């Protein structure tokens, strides 16, 4: 290929993904047409692909699956399958068990992927870690059993591999505090203590940037959020700084709890990461299936860390900050769209203007549709449209979406409990103001969401 042509194609590809966005707290529909179910997760990058591994909360708190998803951009996720699933027999992975905080690392010595888990009884009386291994990141894992590290309690936990290949387990020992434990060379057992904080901190995450270590964690408030904290040091054994908050005081970490901190930046040649992203869970304790994710770029300068809130943001995984400026946006009201079938206005106190486009889908004889025309984009580009909606049910609703007459995509819409939330539509828009976005039922007589408005980036 001619060098100039390659350069132009690369620039166009960059433009085409310039406004794919992460929307904290939104419904994230994956390739299986369901909201992403990977709570309390960890992320591992293999070549250019990110793998997200977390808890399946579709049916509540009891263990169901440890799910794996893949993505090239942290925005569009493909469901790869379950690494571990509930067994019919009693045991660590049996019915009514607690299996939480799954984290996977790769052991270069043994050429195995190693999965650690919080293993517990339904009353949280066992407080153990479980270990499984696999030969591929999203393949079948062999469960190797559970133990209390050095005979101590272990509840929320995290994993970390240092630059020299040494592995570490972060574990919350309710009786003593938060520990860093060095793993054996094969990562399958604990070799030695590294550091103990006597503070009560759970959901730990550890990252290293520019020779400095940062540990993030949550205070102990159950499913309820709190102002999460961090500590930093230049050696894992310490001395570590006093715990400090990193999000706005009183925001309860923007209603979330730390799950993982993902290093970003560096370059394609493997240079050291320069920044990090905060990955948190926004738990809905009364309906865990509806829990969402709060992912935001951290601002790190030496020993100082801060986190700003955002309705949405554009990831740039090669940049030092991990993010780029968000473009201007235009909104389109649902009640101003064209109705088909039985669709009509519905009152919605939390919606913009107090009205939404309702009765989407439903019985086939009068299945409701909502058509947005004149949607503007300043470039041919793939972008993230935020669909503001309401869903008063206790289960997800669904809608098919057609963009410019293309093949339909199915979106999930989590319950909103009397509020308005967002679902994310990743769509290819054309330059100009002639784009059309059509919402229709999924064809089985079920109702779709009440659509408040669309928020569309202007390239």
364: CATH? 2.60.120.260
Q: Choose the final residue of a domain: 289, 308, 324.
A: 324
Q: Assess whether 307 and 285 both reside in one domain.
A: yes
Boundary of a domain, candidates 299, 324, 349: 324
The reply to whether 3 falls in a domain is no
- Whether residues 342 and 317 share a domain: the answer is no
Are both 286 and 397 inside the same structural domain? no
Q: How far is CA 157 from CA 116, 173, 217, in A?
A: 8, 10, 10
Q: Is 12 inside any structural domain? A: no
Give me the residues paired with residue 115 across strands: 104, 132
Among the listed residues 127, 130, 205, the one whose alpha carbon sits nearest the alpha carbon of residue 160: 205
- Would 270 be classed as within a structural domain? yes
The three-state secondary structure class of 192 is strand
Q: Specify whether 227 is located in the same domain as 364.
A: no
- pLDDT tens string 216-247: 999 999 999 999 999 999 999 999 999 999 99
Listed in sequence order, the DSSP H helices in 328-397 are none
8 domain-assigned: no
Phi-psi region of 302 (alpha: psi -120 to 50; beta: other; left: phi over 0): left
Does 434 share its domain with 387?
A: yes
82 and 183 housed in the same domain = yes
Domain that holds residue 449: 329-457
Would residue 14 count as lying in a domain?
no
User: Is 282 in the same domain as 400?
Assistant: no
The number of distinct structural domains making up the chain is 2
Where does the pLDDT of residue 274 fall: very low under 50, low under 70, confident under 90, or very high at 90 and above?
Answer: confident
pLDDT of residue 258: 98
Dihedrals phi, psi of 178, to nearest 5 degrees: -100, 130
Asked whether residue 265 carries a pLDDT value surpassing 90, the answer given is no
Least confident of 15-24, 44-53, 119-128, 153-162: 15-24
Least confident of 16-20, 105-109, 391-395: 16-20
Residue 317, pLDDT above cutoff 70: yes
Residues 343 and 314 placed together within one structural domain of the fold: no
pLDDT digits (tens, 9 = 90+) for 165-200: 999 999 999 999 999 999 999 999 999 999 999 999
CATH of the domain at 166: 2.115.10.20
Percent of the chain with pLDDT over 90: 91
Same-domain pairing of 266 and 386: no
**Cα–Cα distance, 256 to 225 (Å, whole number):** 6
> Is 9 a domain residue?
no
- Same domain? For 160 and 259 the reply is yes
**What is the structure's pLDDT at 12?**
40
Percent composition of the chain: helix, strand, coil (DSSP 3-state, to 5): 5, 50, 45
Instruction: Out of 308, 324, 340, pick the residue that ends a domain.
Output: 324
The pLDDT of residue 267? 60
């Amino acid at each position: 290929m001619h060098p100039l042509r390659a350069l132009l194609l690369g620039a166009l590809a960059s433009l085409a993904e310039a406004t794919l966005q992460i929307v904290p707290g939104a419904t994230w529909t994956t390739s299986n047409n369901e909201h992403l179910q990977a709570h309390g997760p960890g992320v591992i990058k293999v070549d250019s692909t990110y793998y997200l591994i977390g808890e399946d909360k579709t049916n509540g708190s009891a263990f169901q699956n440890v799910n794996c998803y893949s993505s090239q951009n942290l925005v569009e996720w493909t469901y790869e399958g379950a690494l571990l699933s509930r067994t019919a027999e009693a045991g660590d992975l049996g019915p009514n068990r607690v299996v939480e905080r799954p984290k996977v690392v790769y052991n270069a010595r043994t050429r195995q992927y190693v999965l650690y888990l919080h293993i517990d009884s339904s009353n949280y009386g066992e407080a153990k870690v479980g270990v499984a291994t696999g030969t591929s990141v999203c393949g079948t894992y062999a469960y190797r059993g559970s133990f209390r590290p050095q005979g101590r309690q272990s509840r929320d936990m995290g994993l970390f591999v240092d630059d020299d290949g040494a592995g570490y387990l972060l574990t919350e020992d309710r009786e003593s505090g938060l520990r860093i434990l060095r793993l054996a060379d094969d990562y399958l057992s604990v070799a030695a203590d590294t550091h103990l904080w006597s503070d009560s901190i759970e959901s730990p995450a550890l990252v290293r940037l520019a020779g400095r270590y940062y540990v993030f964690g949550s205070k102990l408030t159950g499913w309820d959020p709190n102002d999460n904290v961090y500590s930093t040091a230049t050696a894992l054994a310490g001395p570590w700084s006093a715990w400090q908050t990193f999000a706005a005081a009183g925001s309860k970490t923007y209603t979330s709890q730390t799950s993982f901190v993902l290093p970003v930046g560096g370059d394609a040649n493997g240079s050291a990461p320069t920044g990090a992203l905060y990955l948190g869970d926004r738990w809905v304790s009364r309906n865990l299936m509806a829990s969402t994710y709060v992912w935001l770029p951290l601002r790190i300068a030496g020993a100082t860390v801060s986190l700003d809130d955002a309705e949405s943001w554009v990831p740039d995984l090669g940049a030092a900050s991990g993010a780029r400026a968000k473009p201007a946006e235009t909104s389109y009201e649902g009640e101003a769209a064209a109705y088909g079938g039985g669709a009509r206005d519905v009152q919605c106190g939390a919606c913009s203007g107090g009205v939404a486009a309702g009765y989407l889908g439903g019985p086939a004889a009068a299945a409701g549709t909502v058509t947005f025309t004149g949607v503007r984009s300043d470039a041919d580009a793939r972008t993230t449209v935020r669909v503001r909606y309401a869903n008063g049910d206790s289960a997800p609703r669904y809608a098919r979406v057609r963009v410019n007459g293309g093949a339909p995509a199915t979106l999930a819409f989590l319950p909103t409990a009397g509020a308005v939330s967002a679902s994310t539509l990743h769509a290819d828009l054309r330059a100009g103001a002639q784009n059309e976005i059509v919402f229709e039922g999924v064809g089985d007589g079920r109702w779709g969401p009440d659509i408040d408005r669309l928020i569309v980036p202007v390239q």
